[in-house]
């Protein structure tokens, strides 16, 4: 992964940041539950999910949250800082379907010497008018504060499971 950096001067209001498409699988839900110790059967047990009024086990809301965070950190580069993120889930997502994460710039300003970018973000799921929506605040460096970017080749990606 070649190191790139976006600077505060590079972004304009209404500009869209790169879309991130994720595909949460049933396996990924098991991994998430095990990693955070969340064994809520809503996300694994068909009978419990349908008993609660859903057609099938649902994707963890915090996992959708993490997808949106990845979209932001992928875009902002290693010199950026994710300062705040707020989201609301309007409908559940189901595994084995695409979750399409999008964002666009709504404001940029300087405050107490820090260069802030505000964004509108959302995660779209199939067959749902509104999935997850929210806002984020990212601190980006101005070009005057640019640091040299890492030159080392990251270690092999072979440790990663094939999760998009």
Partner 1 sequence: MTQADAVLEVMKTWVGEEETPPPYEVEKGMMMKMPWVVGDPNPLWRDEQYARQTRYGGIIAAPCFVEFLRFRYYSTYGRTTTPVIRQDLPGRPANVVGGEEVEYFRPIRPGDVISISCRTTDVKKRWSKGLNRDVVIQTHEQVFTNQFGELVATHKSTHIKT
**Which residues of the shown chain bind partner 1 in the complex (CB under 8 A)?**
1, 22, 28, 31-32, 35-38, 40, 42, 48, 51-53, 58, 60-63, 65-67, 69-70, 72-74, 78-79, 81-89, 91-92, 134, 147-152, 154-155, 157, 159-161, 163-164
Instruction: Select 12 or 149, whichever has its Cβ closest to partner 1.
Output: 149
Shortest Å distance, C-beta 81 to partner 1: 7
Shortest Å distance, C-beta 126 to partner 1: 17
Shortest Å distance, C-beta 86 to partner 1: 4
Query: Quick one: DSSP state of residue 114?
Result: E
- What is the distance in angstroms between the CA of the first residue and the CA of the last residue of the chain? 15
Instruction: Select 46 or 164, whichever has its Cβ closest to partner 1.
Output: 164
CB 23 within 8 A of CB 164: yes
Give me Rg for the CA atoms of the chain: 18
Instruction: Select 14 or 127, whichever has its Cβ closest to partner 1.
Output: 127
Instruction: Select 85 or 100, whichever has its Cβ closest to partner 1.
Output: 85
Q: Name, in order, each residue with C-beta under 8 angstroms of 15's C-beta and a sequence gap of 6 or more.
A: 104, 105
Cα separations (Å) of 45 from 125, 134, 146, 158? 21, 29, 49, 31
Shortest Å distance, C-beta 25 to partner 1: 10
- Rounded Cα distance between 113 and 139, Å, is 11
Instruction: Select 7 or 65, whichever has its Cβ closest to partner 1.
Output: 65
Beta strands in 48-98 (DSSP E): 81-89
Shortest Å distance, C-beta 13 to partner 1: 23
Residue matched to tokens 């080749």 = 153
């Amino acid at each position: 992964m070649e190191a790139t950096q976006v600077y505060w001067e590079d972004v304009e209001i209404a500009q869209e940041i790169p879309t991130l498409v994720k595909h949460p699988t049933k396996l990924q839900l098991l991994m998430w539950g095990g990693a955070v110790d969340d064994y809520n059967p809503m996300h694994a047990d068909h009978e419990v999910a349908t008993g609660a009024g859903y057609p099938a086990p649902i994707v963890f809301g915090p996992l959708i949250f993490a997808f949106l965070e990845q979209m932001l950190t992928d875009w902002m580069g290693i010199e950026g800082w994710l300062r705040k993120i707020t989201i609301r889930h309007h409908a559940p997502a189901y595994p084995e379907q695409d979750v399409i994460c999008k964002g666009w710039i709504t404001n940029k300003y300087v405050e107490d010497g820090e260069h802030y970018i505000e964004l509108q973000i959302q995660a779209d799921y199939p067959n749902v008018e509104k999935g997850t929506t929210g806002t984020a605040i990212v601190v980006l460096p101005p070009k005057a504060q640019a640091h040299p970017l890492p030159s080392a080749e990251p270690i092999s990606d072979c440790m990663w499971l094939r999760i998009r």
